[in-house]
Amino acid sequence: MTPEVSRSGGNKMTEKSGAILQLPVSCLAEYATRGGRSPESVLRPYKFRGAGEGIARILFRPPVVAIIRRYFKLNRDAKVFENALADWHVRADATAKKGQRSKLQSNISALTLFRLQYARREFEILPAHKISYQIGQIVFTASPDLWVRENGQEHLIKIGFGKRSRSYIDILLAVMRRAALAHRHRIRPRNAVYLSVLTGEELVSRFAYRDLALTLAAAASEIVKAWPKVTQLGAVSRIGSGAGPTDVAHYSENG
């Protein structure tokens, strides 16, 4: 079942749609590729976003992605990166809070790596549409980090700052493109892209959404069943633990 699409491009979680949850597509990808992890350990940060690992997911990516967007929007103005890095260095040196310093140092590492790998790309920043896709009773938000035009074609880009499995990336990209198509944005399969900051790789999904549909439907159904059982117990904060950039870089509201 696909969500009802509003004129503004968003999803209406109506009675007709039957949706009872709205989650980022990263939750679906993480759940479906969790291996031996318990459902509760995967879902807890998404349910309790104001505590522990949940708040870490919110704190890290948005500032870095915002700077990257601004850099390309201003025609690759090097001062955008330089000013952000200088500001974060000053704030990291000035704070006595270990958690705040760790967050800023992670921002610095992530932006430095992105600049090294991708600063020369000629991305034209396009308006960022909010897109999502409903699977079962869950609406999964799936907006890209960057919506760009390159070589005359639109691209949806997710930026990967940390280590993720290939299967996780496949799901992220397949659902993101499916969401774009559901919202009437014609995106070619090879133009839904994952940029790995750690390796410099540019990845596309190995599968079409239809190839993953049954697996994702089953995962979404399991999430709905497990959700009421997820408690905040055990949600230990990682802010201030000294975690490095590869530990916290993948946290995001949108995946």
CA distances (Å), 90 to each of 19, 66, 105, 116, 175, in order? 45, 19, 11, 21, 39
Q: Is position 127 within any domain?
A: yes
Contact 67, 210 (CB under 8 A): no
The boundaries of the domain holding residue 138 are: 17-230
Of the pLDDT bands very low, low, confident and very high (cuts 50, 70, 90), residue 207 is: very high
Distance CA 17, CA 7 (A): 16
Q: Is position 156 within any domain?
A: yes
Q: What is the DSSP letter of 3?
A: P
Residue with tokens 């459902």: 39
Ramachandran angles phi, psi of 136, nearest 5°: 65, -125
> Residue 218 pLDDT more than 60?
yes
Q: Is position 141 within any domain?
A: yes
DSSP string, 172-211: HHHHHHHHHHHTT----GGGEEEEETTT--EEE-SS-HHH
Of the pLDDT bands very low, low, confident and very high (cuts 50, 70, 90), residue 33 is: very high
Amino acid at 137: Q
Mean pLDDT across the stretch 205-214? 96
Q: Is position 248 within any domain?
A: no
Q: Is position 174 within any domain?
A: yes
Quote the percentage of the chain above a pLDDT of 70: 79
Per DSSP, which regions of the chain are E strands? 4-5, 11-12, 21-24, 124-125, 132-135, 138-141, 146-150, 153-160, 192-196, 202-204
| pLDDT tens, residue by residue, 94-148 | 999 998 899 899 999 999 999 999 999 999 999 989 999 999 999 999 999 999 9
Mean pLDDT across the stretch 230-237? 65
Of the pLDDT bands very low, low, confident and very high (cuts 50, 70, 90), residue 62 is: confident
Average pLDDT, rounded, for the chain = 84
> Residue 59 pLDDT more than 50?
no
Mean pLDDT across the stretch 52-76? 78
Distance CA 70, CA 74 (A): 6
Domain count, the chain: 1
Q: What is the pLDDT of residue 9?
A: 35
Q: Is position 245 within any domain?
A: no
Q: Is position 244 within any domain?
A: no
Q: Is position 173 within any domain?
A: yes
Contact 129, 9 (CB under 8 A): yes
Mean pLDDT across the stretch 44-62? 67
